[in-house]
Structure 1
Amino acid sequence: MTYIDVFMVAVQKANKAVYIEHAQRFAEMFKRLGALECVEAWGSDVPDGEVTSMVKAVAKKDDEDVVTGWMIWPDKAVRDAAWEACESDPVMVEFGSAMPFDGKRLIFGAFEPIVKL
Structure 2
Amino acid sequence: MTHYVDGFLLPIAPEKLTEYQKMADKAGAVWKDHGAIAYWECVGDDFNCHDMTSFRQAAGCKDNETVVIAWIIYPSREERDRINAAVMADPRLSDMCNDDSIFDYKRMAYAGFRELVRHD
* TM-score (structure 1 length as normaliser): 0.90
The CA deviation at 1:90 is 1.2
The CA deviation at 1:9 is 0.2
**Does 1:7 find its partner at 2:5?**
no
Which residue of structure 2 lines up, in the alignment, with residue 106 of structure 1? 108
- How many residues in Structure 1 have an aligned counterpart in Structure 2? 117
Identity %: 28
For structure 1, the 5+ residue unaligned runs are: none
Tell me if structure 2 keeps the 8 A contact 1:49–1:56.
no
Residues 50 and 60 of structure 1, relative CA distance in 2, 3 Å threshold: farther
CA distance, structure 1, for counterparts of residue 97 and residue 8 of structure 2: 19
Deviates more, 1:2-11 or 1:54-63: 54-63
Which residue of structure 1 lines up, in the alignment, with residue 61 of structure 2? 60
Q: Output the amino acid matched with 2:78.
A: A
Q: Output the amino acid matched with 2:90.
A: D
Which residue of structure 2 lines up, in the alignment, with residue 116 of structure 1? 118
CA distance, structure 1, for counterparts of residue 60 and residue 40 of structure 2: 22
Which residue of structure 1 lines up, in the alignment, with residue 44 of structure 2? 43
Residues 50 and 18 of structure 1, relative CA distance in 2, 3 Å threshold: same
Tell me if structure 2 keeps the 8 A contact 1:39–1:70.
yes
Which residue of structure 2 lines up, in the alignment, with residue 17 of structure 1? 18
* TM-score (structure 2 length as normaliser): 0.88
CA distance, structure 1, for counterparts of residue 68 and residue 32 of structure 2: 20
RMSD of equivalent CA atoms: 1.7
